Amino acid sequence: MRERVGRWIAGQKSLPGRFVEYETSAGTCSWGGLQIPADPYSDYGRLFRVHVWTYVCIRTLTMATATIPIMVQTKRKDAWEDDPNSPLQRILDDVNPEMTSFGFQEATMGYLKAFGNAFWYMIRDRGGRPAELWPMRPDMVKAKPGTDRMIGSYEYGPEGSATT
């Protein structure tokens, strides 16, 4: 079964035995008898673009999820109540000048389902409060190790032209 899944992901022929091998720009690695890419993001994105049923499933989930409103709640006494005036609710309702809340949720869920991760870039106003949220393509985000913690920073951009 793993060999069939590996062939489906790889979109290429299997080698003799139980191994599936294919190359990506990052090379290959092995897991459970399969050769898998060292950088799986490139192939997850390819799955979404090439395999129609993967696209259909992810698209259906993203559209359904984006229709569910995100409601911020505040605890008042012993009960939780919707808080439409919360600063967080305002930014979730009006995420940035180019996107609706629906489009933002759709992009976020699409990235989660296609790549397994979703990143947001937050722009703050002069007072330091969140002013805009922008979804970021996970295949263009690279975690950089820190000196005193596991992840020190992130870089965003195509390979070779990243912005920290």
Residue ranges covered by each domain of the chain: 71-156
pLDDT at 158: 77
pLDDT tens, position by position, 99-149: 999 999 999 999 998 888 999 999 999 999 899 999 999 988 988 888 888
Predicted confidence (pLDDT) at residue 152 exceeds the cutoff of 80: yes
Predicted confidence (pLDDT) at residue 151 exceeds the cutoff of 50: yes
Q: Is 69 left (phi over 0), alpha (psi -120 to 50) or beta?
A: beta
Dihedral, CA atoms, 102, 103, 107, 110, nearest 10 degrees?
Answer: 60
Q: Which of 58, 141, 72 is nearest to 106 (CA)?
A: 58
What does the alpha-carbon distance between residue 163 and residue 101 come to, in Å, rounded to a whole number? 26
Q: Which of 53, 58, 54, 51 is nearest to 11 (CA)?
A: 51
pLDDT tens, position by position, 51-93: 778 888 888 999 999 999 999 999 999 999 999 999 999 999 9
Instruction: Report the predicted TM-score, pTM, of the whole model to 2 decimal places.
Output: 0.65
